């Protein structure tokens, strides 16, 4: 599977979810930076897989990709990225061959030559016959992802299916494990690997024909689809950080008019793109719970840089750097982020705000929320009607939406420029309702 294609489908599905089918073909293609022909080709491919996944849908709904995703939204607890992994994980020929290999190794250990004979005898005639090199490459891939393991260390190596955990559990224990993984995958961050484990356990339950597998006790649906899609790059970046490797990618900022550009291999058709080529040293990955976004914090020649994972395409891992310079850059980043509400590394500023207790309510939910979400800030000067909250943060950009979300229950006292900004914003909001009130 080409990484270019995976990026394209990620951005395709992201736009489909965010726009809910509001764009026509031409607008959709222009936003993605692809031709209408490529758009149609990608949509046809996704429709084919969608029809296989959601066979329960009426034919009219399956004709439109956006309608199929919309109408099956609450009928499937599988995230949209898992759907994409199913679509792009392996080629059709690889899928047939790997399925035969896994079936053959279930319950017995076999050598590469024995598996080659089984594949040659069982593959359909219209598919190309593999050689021993291809089989060994498949075995290496399956071993890396943890699906199989070597039975003996001496040559010739024998391989068998690694399903000891699931095979050693009773039906009741397997159901309990599935329920636990289901809860954790849908409530914790990150969760893609949990979804993949959940998918494997569900298949194991169905193989046993357990009645409990069909009736899932929980049904989750996470609404931040962009967060799930961003996790396609997350573990590559975490691995690069652990190995102190630089990464390179084509980046599209949130303000960019396009969100994707194809990787041209033919110089005759090479064209300029709206993205920015970036080579940088990743230091930290941060998740924003408020907006459901992932951020990459890295170091380059011009200092600390921040990137939203949703704009990263064509991600490649480069050479590693020394341990000492990596640690120095990491320490510098941590020092700059000491007072970051999220990832801001600007100049520290002290914010003071008055929060008003809710009237006529026995539960002081305002104070509870400030204590829960206020991070290292502290409360002082409390009386019967209000309390003062104070915190020192790097800039006011990131804390401003949090303060604004309290509405009339929060009054910013300092700094003066933040107070004036919020006064102007509330006046603008009030002006939106003046004409409506006159009409009424």
The pLDDT tens digits of the residues spanning 216-254 come to: 666 666 666 777 778 888 888 999 999 999 999 989 887
314 within 8 A of 365, measured Cβ to Cβ: no
Percent of the chain with pLDDT over 90: 29
Q: Does residue 341 lie within any of the structural domains? A: no
Q: Which of 11, 1, 88 is nearest to 274 (CA)?
A: 11
Range of the domain at 362: 348-435
Q: Does residue 251 lie within any of the structural domains? A: yes
Claim to verify: residue 124 and residue 176 sit in the same structural domain? no
Q: Does residue 63 lie within any of the structural domains? A: no
Segment 37-54 mean pLDDT: 70
Claim to verify: residue 427 and residue 370 sit in the same structural domain? yes
Distance between CA 196 and CA 361 in Å, rounded? 45
The pLDDT tens digits of the residues spanning 331-360 come to: 999 999 999 999 998 899 999 999 999 887
State the CB neighbour count (10 A cutoff) for residue 135.
22
- What confidence score (pLDDT) does residue 295 get? 94
Q: Which residue has the higher pLDDT, 123 or 351?
A: 351
- What confidence score (pLDDT) does residue 147 get? 78
Place 130 in a pLDDT band, splitting at 50, 70 and 90: confident
Segment 3-14 mean pLDDT: 68
Claim to verify: residue 331 and residue 230 sit in the same structural domain? yes
Longest pairwise C-alpha distance within the chain = 87
- What confidence score (pLDDT) does residue 3 get? 38
Angle at 238 between CA 233 and CA 243, to 5 degrees: 125
Q: Where are the alpha helices (DSSP H) in 188-322?
A: 192-207, 211-214, 225-242
Q: Does residue 120 lie within any of the structural domains? A: yes
For the entire predicted model, the pTM comes to 0.73
Distance between CA 153 and CA 164 in Å, rounded? 19
Confidence check: pLDDT of 84 > 80: no
- Which segments within 152-292 are labelled E, that is strand? 159-161, 245-251, 276-288
Q: Does residue 71 lie within any of the structural domains? A: no
Place 36 in a pLDDT band, splitting at 50, 70 and 90: confident
Distance between CA 194 and CA 231 in Å, rounded? 12
- Domain of 399, CATH number, reads 3.30.70
φ/ψ (deg, to 5) at 170: -75, 170
Q: Residue 308's beta-bridge partner residues?
A: 295
Distance between CA 190 and CA 361 in Å, rounded? 37
Place 59 in a pLDDT band, splitting at 50, 70 and 90: low
228 within 8 A of 188, measured Cβ to Cβ: no
Distance between CA 168 and CA 360 in Å, rounded? 57
- What confidence score (pLDDT) does residue 101 get? 84
Q: Residue 195 contacts by C-beta under 8 Å, 6 or more apart in sequence?
A: 78, 79, 81, 82, 185
Q: Residue 9's beta-bridge partner residues?
A: none
Please, what is the end-to-end C-alpha distance for the chain in angstroms?
59
Q: Where are the alpha helices (DSSP H) in 243-379?
A: 323-336, 365-373
CA separation, residue 86 to residues 60, 81, 181, 342 (Å):
23, 9, 19, 34
Claim to verify: residue 244 and residue 144 sit in the same structural domain? no
SS3 220: coil
Top-confidence range, 130-144, 221-235, 351-365, 414-428: 414-428
258 within 8 A of 241, measured Cβ to Cβ: no
Claim to verify: residue 238 and residue 311 sit in the same structural domain? yes
Q: Which of 75, 77, 73, 76 is nearest to 194 (CA)?
A: 77
Claim to verify: residue 47 and residue 17 sit in the same structural domain? yes
- What confidence score (pLDDT) does residue 421 get? 94
- What confidence score (pLDDT) does residue 73 get? 45
Segment 317-331 mean pLDDT: 92
- What confidence score (pLDDT) does residue 378 get? 94
The pLDDT tens digits of the residues spanning 265-321 come to: 544 444 555 678 899 999 999 998 888 889 999 998 888 999 998 888 888 899 999
Confidence check: pLDDT of 213 > 50: no
Claim to verify: residue 315 and residue 357 sit in the same structural domain? no
Q: Which residues of 329-365 are buried (b: 16+ CB within 10 A; e: fewer)?
A: bbeebeebbebbbbbbbeeebebbbebebeeeeeeee
Q: Does residue 81 lie within any of the structural domains? A: no
Looking at residue 408, the DSSP 8-state letter turns out to be G
CB-count burial class (<10 Å; 0-12, 13-18, 19+) for 401: exposed
Q: Residue 264 contacts by C-beta under 8 Å, 6 or more apart in sequence?
A: 270, 271
Q: Does residue 196 lie within any of the structural domains? A: yes
- Calculated CA dihedral for residues 6, 12, 16, 18, nearest 10 degrees: 90
Distance between CA 54 and CA 102 in Å, rounded? 25
Lowest-confidence region among 125-129, 372-376, 388-392, 414-418:
125-129
Claim to verify: residue 295 and residue 314 sit in the same structural domain? yes
Claim to verify: residue 252 and residue 297 sit in the same structural domain? yes
- What confidence score (pLDDT) does residue 21 get? 63
Claim to verify: residue 304 and residue 362 sit in the same structural domain? no
Using the 3D structure, point to which of 336, 359, 387 is the last residue of a domain. Answer: 336
CA separation, residue 8 to residues 4, 36, 411 (Å):
6, 13, 45
Split into its structural domains, the chain has a count of: 5
The pLDDT tens digits of the residues spanning 263-275 come to: 655 444 445 556 7
- What confidence score (pLDDT) does residue 411 get? 95
Distance between CA 175 and CA 129 in Å, rounded? 39
Claim to verify: residue 414 and residue 360 sit in the same structural domain? yes
Percent of the chain with pLDDT over 70: 77
- Domain of 99, CATH number, reads 1.10.10.10
**Please, what is the angle between helix 3-19 and helix 36-53, to 10°?**
80
Q: Does residue 114 lie within any of the structural domains? A: yes
* HEC assignment per residue over 93-136: HHHHHHHHHHHHCCCCCECHHHHHHHHHHHCCCCCCCCCHHHHH
Q: Residue 312's beta-bridge partner residues?
A: 251
SS3 39: helix
Claim to verify: residue 187 and residue 99 sit in the same structural domain? no
Total residue count of the chain as it appears in this document: 440
Mean pLDDT for the chain?
79
- What confidence score (pLDDT) does residue 245 get? 94
């Amino acid at each position: 599977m080409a990484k270019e294609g995976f990026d394209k489908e990620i951005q395709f599905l992201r736009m489909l979810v965010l726009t809910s089918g509001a764009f026509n073909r031409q607008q959709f293609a222009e936003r993605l930076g692809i031709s209408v022909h490529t758009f149609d080709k990608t949509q046809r491919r996704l429709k084919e897989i969608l029809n296989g996944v959601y066979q329960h849908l009426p034919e009219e709904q399956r004709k439109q990709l956006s309608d199929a995703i919309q109408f099956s939204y609450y009928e499937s607890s599988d995230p949209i990225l898992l759907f994409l992994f199913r679509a792009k994980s392996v080629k059709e020929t690889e899928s047939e061959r790997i399925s035969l290999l896994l079936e053959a190794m279930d319950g017995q250990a076999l050598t590469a030559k024995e598996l080659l004979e089984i594949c040659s005898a069982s593959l359909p005639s219209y598919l190309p016959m593999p050689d021993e090199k291809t089989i060994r490459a498949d075995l290496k891939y399956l071993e890396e992802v943890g699906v199989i393991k070597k039975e003996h260390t001496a040559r010739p190596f024998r391989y068998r299916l690694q399903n000891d955990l699931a095979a050693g559990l009773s039906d009741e224990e397997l159901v309990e494990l599935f329920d636990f993984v289901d809860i954790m995958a849908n409530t914790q961050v990150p969760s893609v690997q949990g979804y993949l484990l959940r998918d494997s356990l569900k298949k194991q339950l169905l193989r046993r024909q357990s009645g409990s597998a069909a009736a899932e006790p929980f049904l989750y649906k996470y609404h931040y689809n962009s967060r799930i899609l961003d996790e396609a790059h997350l573990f590559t970046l975490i691995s690069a950080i652990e190995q102190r490797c630089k990464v390179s990618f084509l980046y599209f900022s949130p303000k960019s008019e396009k969100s994707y550009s194809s990787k041209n291999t033919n110089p005759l058709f090479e064209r300029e793109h709206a993205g920015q080529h970036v080579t940088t040293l990743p230091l930290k990955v941060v998740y924003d719970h408020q907006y459901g976004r992932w951020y990459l914090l890295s170091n380059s020649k011009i200092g600390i840089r921040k990137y939203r994972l949703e704009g990263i395409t064509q991600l490649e891992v480069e050479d590693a750097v020394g341990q000492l310079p990596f640690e120095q850059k990491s320490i510098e980043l941590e020092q700059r982020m000491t007072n970051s509400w999220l990832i801001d590394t600007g100049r520290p500023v002290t914010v003071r705000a008055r929060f008003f207790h809710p009237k006529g309510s026995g539960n002081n939910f305002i104070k509870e929320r400030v204590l829960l979400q206020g991070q290292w800030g502290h409360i002082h000067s409390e009386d019967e009607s209000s309390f003062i909250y104070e915190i020192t943060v790097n800039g006011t950009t990131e804390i401003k939406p949090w303060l604004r979300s309290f509405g009339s229950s929060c009054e910013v006292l300092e700094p003066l420029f933040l107070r004036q900004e919020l006064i102007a914003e509330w006046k603008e909001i009030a002006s939106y309702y003046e004409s409506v009130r006159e009409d009424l």
